[in-house]
Structures are given as C-alpha cells and as structure tokens.
Structure 1
C-alpha cells in the first residue's frame, strides 16, 4: 500500500460531514452572505456548540464573548469557520477509534500542541492567516491514526523511534513513506485548500524549500511537539535546524515561548474537544 491507498481506506472512517462541503461551496459563491453560512452550521447543535467553544478559546483570544455563529463569522471570517470545522472532524474521529497500536494520548496532545505552536511561531514569522496554519499543525500527523487503524502492527513498529532514529525516518523505513504523506493525500481527497496541504506535504524537506515560510514554521512546530512529548529522548539540539530559525527571525527565546504557550493551552483545548474522554 502507498500513502494514497491508506488515504482512500481512511476516507470512509474519517469522512468530512456534508456541512464542510456546503460551507466550502458557499465560500466559492460570491453571492453568499453570513446568514447562509450560519444556516448551514446551526442545523448541527453539536458542531455549533463546539465551534463557539473553540471561538471563545485561547486559539483566537477574542476580547469579548462570541455567543452566536453569525458573530463568529463576522469576527473571524468564513475561512476560520471552515478551519474550525476541520478541527471538529479531527476531534470527532476519536469517538469511533479504539486501538492499542499507538499511544492515543500522546498522539492527540502532540497534534494539538503542534497546532498551537504553529500558530504562535507564525505570528513571530510575520505570516498572515494563522488559523489556516493552526489547522495544518493539528492535522499534519493524522496519517498516524490511519495507519494504526488499517495496519496496527506497522504502527507499533513506527513507535520505535529515538534520537538516532527520528519518527519520520522510522516511518519511511517501515512504510516507504511518512505519516504526513498520508495526511496530505487524505486532505486532498477532502478537497482541503492547497495552502493547508502544501506545508504538511513538504515540511520534512524544509531545509530544501527555503522560499516558503509555512513549510519552515510547521517544521519547527513539529520538532517542538516531539520534544514536548519525549523530553527524556529529544532536545532542540537534536531536532531543530538553527539556520531555519535564523531565516524566519525566530530566536531560541521565541521557541521557548512558543513551546510554553502550546504546553499551557494544550490541556484546555483538549478538554474543549473532549479528547480526554476519547483517550482514557
């Protein structure tokens, strides 16, 4: 099986709800209005509740309470609403997932941490549309969940990484490709915007793609997430290319602040998404 084969199999288990496709269609329709978006989202009480929780969370840090979908759309725009729906899909995947092949608590914390760190570093690097990059950070390793479901024994093998054999190296050796390649293929099937997919597909090649800030920022965030998950096994010196930090104008202090922010907020975001319930 190649990365696309895994994505095809996963699409049935981790499918986007119809509302996502309807919102995407409205985004492409210049005649659509805020009420059109609110009408699509509000028919799902669970999604409405969760979107409002996320809109009022530290991810967006609004100065006042966001109490309606219409207000959330007005404040953060339709792209951010669509991105938050993708976040909801990622969280909902755990409702139907039961597997001992990987450490689910570690997987989900790393995903949320990576999303938060990506957002923080994007601000430092002067990148706009940080909500899009939060989603890229959150979903970049979704392929791990897919392999754990489809090929649990291979997923267990891929868990055997250390400072000399980094996770993506073990994945490449075991599968012939990385988890992020599966993630990119699935998001392509979901018709996710290419701006989200591109950094996911290429961040492990960040040293060779010097022109794209998104790729570099996601690279740094994934390394911070790895150190956070395994502080006994990894350090910044093992995993982070200092030249990439310099090219973005990001200092060691900035990395530490991003990691502190992500660590502090991860548990809060996990509780919003009910991830603690899913990973116990």
Structure 2
C-alpha cells in the first residue's frame, strides 16, 4: 500500500464530520454573517461546549473569558473557529484509530507537544495565523495511527528508531513513505486548507529545500518533540538544524522557551481533548 491508499482506507473508517464542511462553506461565502456561524455551531451543545473550552485554553491564551460562540467568532475570527473544530476532530479521530500496536502515550505527547511548540516558534518567527500551525503540528504525525491500525507489524518496526536510524528514515525504509505523507493525503481527502497541509507534506525536507517559514517552523518543532519524548537518545544540538534557526531568527533561548512552554501546557491540552492513555500489553 502507498500513502494515498492508507489515507483512503482510513477515510472509509472515519470521515470528517459534516459540520466541518458546512463551516468551510460558510467561510467561502462572502455573504455569511457571524450569526450564520453561531447558528450552525450552537445546534450541537457538545461542540459548543468543547469549542468554548478550547477558546479559553492555553492554545489561544486570550485574556478574559470567552463565554459565547458569537463572541469567540468576533474576537478570533472564523478561521480560528474552523481550526478549533479540527482540534476537536483530531481528538476524536486519534481515539478512533488508537490501538495497542504503538506506544500511545508517546504518540499523544509528541503530537500535542509538537502543536504547542509550532505555535510558540511561529510567534517568534513573525508568522500570522498561528492557530493553523498548532493544527498542523498536532496532525503532522496522524499517519502513524493510521498505519498502526491497518498494518500493526509495520508500525511496530517503524517504532524502533534511534539516533543512528531516524524515525522518518526508518519509515521510508520499511514503508516507502513517511507517516507525514499519509497525514497529508488524508487531510487532502478531508479538504483541509492547503495552508495546513503544505508544511506537513514538506517539513522533513526543510533543510534541503527553500520553502516557506511554516515548513521550517514545523521542522524545528517536530525535532523538539522528538527530543522531549526521548531525551536519553536525542539531543537538541544533534537534532536541530542551526541554519533554519538563523533563517527564522530563532535563538537557542527561543528553542528552550518553546520546549518549556510545550512541556508545561501539553497536559492541559491533553485534558481538553479528553485523552485516556492506554499502554501496550
């Protein structure tokens, strides 16, 4: 199977909710009003509650409480509302594909840490629309769960990475593609905006290609997440490409602060997403 075939099979098992497509349709309609968005979201009490919880979380760090959908839309905009929905969908999709083939606690921690670190570094790099970069960081390794669900033996092989045999290199060797390729293919099927898909599809080539800031930031955040989860195996000095930091004007202190922020806030975000860890038997 190739990356697209894995994504297609996953989509047949878990499709993006209709509400996401409806929100996207409203975003593309210039005549849409805040009331249109609020009416669509408010018919789902669970979604309303979750979105307000996320709006008041460390992901966005707004001063004061956001207590209504209309206020949330007014303050942070429709794109942020859409991104919040993707965060909520991610939690549901992650749990849908969760299985005993891989270390789920490590997977969850790395995914959420990467999203938070990406957001923090994006601010330092002067990138706008940091919410979509949190989503990109969160979803970049979603393909691992898909492969683990469909081909558990292969996923277990790919989990045996080390400093000498890096994760993405091992994935290419065993699968012929990386987990991020599967993630990008599924998000394309789900019609997720290209601005979210592009950094996921290309960040592992950030060191060799002249690509935009989004790609470089996600590359750095993914390496911070790897070091955070395996400090005994990986180090910042060996994992971080200094030339990318220089290009983004990100200092070693900025990297340390991003890692500290992600580490501190990861547990809060995991709680919001109602994560229950399962260890392998």
Band the TM-score falls in, shorter-chain normalisation = over 0.9
The question of whether the paired residues in 2 share the 8 Å contact of 1:133 and 1:214 is answered with yes
Contact 1:124 1:250 in 2 (8 A): yes
Contact preservation (8 Å) 1:52, 1:69: yes
Kept in 2: contact 1:94–1:278 (CA 8 A):
no
Query: Is the Cα contact below 8 Å between 1:114 and 1:137 reproduced in 2?
Result: yes
Report the counterpart of residue 115 of structure 1 in structure 2: 115
Q: Partner of 1:6 in structure 2?
A: 6
Note closer, same or farther for the CA distance 1:95–1:46 as it changes in structure 2 (3 Å cut).
farther
Structure 1 residues without counterparts, runs of 5 or longer: none
In the TM superposition, what is the alpha-carbon distance from 1:42 to its structure 2 partner? 1.4
The residue aligned with 2:203 is 203
When the two structures are aligned, how many residues end up with a matched partner? 279
Q: How does 1:49-68 map to 2 (within 5 A)?
A: 49-68=49-68
- Alpha carbons of structure 1 residues 139 and 132: separation in structure 2 relative to 1, 3 Å: same
The TM-score normalised by the length of structure 1 is 0.97
Q: Distance in 2 between matches of 1:238 and 1:6?
A: 32
Note if 1:244 corresponds to 2:238. Answer: no
Shift of 1:278: 5.0
Q: 1:128 & 1:97 partners in 2: Cα distance?
A: 32
Measure, in 2, the Cα distance between the counterparts of 1:146 and 1:16.
15
| Residue 83 (structure 1) aligns with | 83
Q: How big is the alpha-carbon RMSD for the aligned residues of Structure 1 and Structure 2?
A: 1.1
CA distance in 2, matches of 1:172, 1:75: 43
Counterpart-to-counterpart distance in 2, 1:5 and 1:97: 16
Matches within 5 A, 1:70-219: 70-219=70-219
1:45 to partner: Cα distance: 1.6
Alpha-carbon distance in structure 1 between the residues aligned to 2:14 and 2:121: 29
2:27 alignment partner in structure 1: 27
Deviation at 1:39? 1.3
TM-score by length of 2: 0.97
The question of whether the paired residues in 2 share the 8 Å contact of 1:180 and 1:200 is answered with yes
User: Does the 8 A contact of 2:184 with 2:200 survive in 1?
Assistant: yes
Flag the 1:278–1:23 CA change in 2: closer, same or farther, 3 A. Answer: farther
Look up the match of 1:39.
39
